[in-house]
Amino acid sequence: MHEDLATRYTSVRSVLVRILFLNIGVALAKIVFGQASGSISILSDGFHSLTDGASNVVALVGLRLAEKPPDTNHPYGHRKFETLAAGGIALFLLLVVVEVAQTAILRFRAGGAPSVTAASFGIMLATLAINIAVVRSERKAARRLSSELLLADARHTQSDVLTSLAVLAALIGSAYGYPILDPLAALVIVGFIGYAGFEIARDAAKILSDQIVISEEDIRGVVQSVPRVLGCHHIRSRGSADHVFLDLHVWLDGDTPLTDAHALSHEVKDRLMERYPQIADAIIHIEPPPLAGRR
């Protein structure tokens, strides 16, 4: 495996393992205290945090598959397994949406009020601070490593930040005699989690459906900066932000010798990959310019 790619996967894995342990600690603290205090919002938030840890495990498995080099059956490599893992995170979010919604509806029907103490606020504020630190750290790592997997996981954890704020609001309301705010906060959590899942699924779908990654005009500008190149068309790009496959047709004078045309195609490819280092491979077809009115 290419050294830079191997280093990237090692860095992404290191970030995920570190965050996994933090997420498990946060989840256990919320679940234990939620059970003890009878706060459905804290308990629901704990299950949400637990899915953070579960999604970390899914991400680590996906990453292990994604880092495998190309083989006979996968000539383009295994990079999309990382995207599939990001889609798995969206599925975890869907499961927790159902669980939290059911629990909140049950509380509306049965009634009851949580036990609100200083410890309740202490637990939520401490876990909130941890989650904010995790989101900032993971987003920074996602940008540095160009990993949609880390970005998806950071969005998941960001939804945990929002749900924790909703829980704090519910605790304050319950302390002032409005226990109905506890299950209401749980429903707010459902909205936050659902939106985070939608964003992750949408971004994964873009990659899996081969949506364009680099605009045609940007590619055309680089290609036409090469001397003797007359133009280009049929520009197609696909893949993820950090792993792009590109193919295009480049126009050269019809009298260009084959050896010169071959050299020019390599110059075009080198310039493209220098401008866009995320390009894993570029296939360039050389042809004379089309006749007037034809493409």
CA distance 67 to 85: 13
Burial of 11 (0-12, 13-18, 19+ CB in 10 A): middle
CA distance 147 to 13: 11
**pLDDT reported for residue 55:** 73
Q: 190 pLDDT exceeds 90?
A: no
Please state the separation of Cα 196 from the chain's center in Å. 10
> 111-120, 206-215, 277-286: lowest mean pLDDT where?
111-120
Which phi and psi angles does 244 have, rounded to 5°?
Answer: -110, 140
Q: Are 88 and 62 in contact (CB under 8 A)?
A: yes
Q: Are 123 and 29 in contact (CB under 8 A)?
A: yes
CA distance 168 to 92: 24
Non-local (6+) Cβ contacts of 151 within 8 A are 139, 142, 203
Q: pLDDT tens digits for 63-84?
A: 777 677 788 888 887 777 777 8
Q: Could you give the count of Cα atoms lying within 13 Å of 195 in the half-sphere of its Cβ?
A: 10
CA distance 13 to 66: 12
**pLDDT reported for residue 29:** 87
Q: pLDDT tens digits for 18-62?
A: 888 888 888 888 888 887 777 777 877 787 777 777 777 777 877
Q: pLDDT tens digits for 227-266?
A: 999 999 999 999 887 788 999 999 999 899 999 999 999 9
Q: Are 268 and 256 in contact (CB under 8 A)?
A: no
Task: Provide mean pLDDT across the span 172-181.
Answer: 80
Q: How confident is the model at residue 293 (pLDDT cuts 50, 70, 90)?
A: very low
| pTM assigned to the model | 0.65
Domains and CATH numbers, the chain: 3-208 (1.20.1510.10), 216-287 (3.30.70.1350)
Tokens, residue 255: 């009298």
- Of 45, 46, 9, 240, nearest to 162 by C-alpha is 45
Task: Provide mean pLDDT across the span 268-274.
Answer: 93
Q: 116 pLDDT exceeds 80?
A: no
Non-local (6+) Cβ contacts of 184 within 8 A are 104, 170
